[in-house]
Amino acid sequence: MASYKLIFRQSVAKDLRRIPKPDVAWILSRIEALQDEPRPPRGEKLSGQERYRVRQGVYRIPHEVADDARALTVVKSGIASRFAKRASRPADRLLMKR
């Protein structure tokens, strides 16, 4: 299988600066592995979007896959708590209690 071209959004560099260097190396190795298998068995498709998410320890790596262009765009990278679902926001919790 041919390898996908990696594309990083500018925000990814900013996200990675906040993460300890040993963890950044770990995350980058996981991203490189996505080139050969952009939709790994343990990855998840994000609902309502054409994006996928893979885990690397406590970190999440959401990415977009363009099969026709053989490109994989890394959208963001960070700790799982920053990718919490909508219902975990305080305003949404208030609406859910009604």
Q: Give the CATH number, domain containing residue 93.
A: 3.30.2310.20
Question: 61-97: string of b/e by CB count within 10 Å (b at 16+)?
Answer: bbbbbeeeeeebbbbbbbeeeebeeeeeeeeeeeeee
Q: Look up the domain containing 23 and give its range.
A: 5-97
Please tell me whether the overall predicted TM-score, pTM, comes out greater than 0.85 for this model. no
pLDDT digits (tens, 9 = 90+) for 31-41: 999 999 999 98
pLDDT digits (tens, 9 = 90+) for 31-84: 999 999 999 988 899 887 789 999 988 999 999 999 889 999 999 888 877 665
Count of domains in the chain?
A: 1
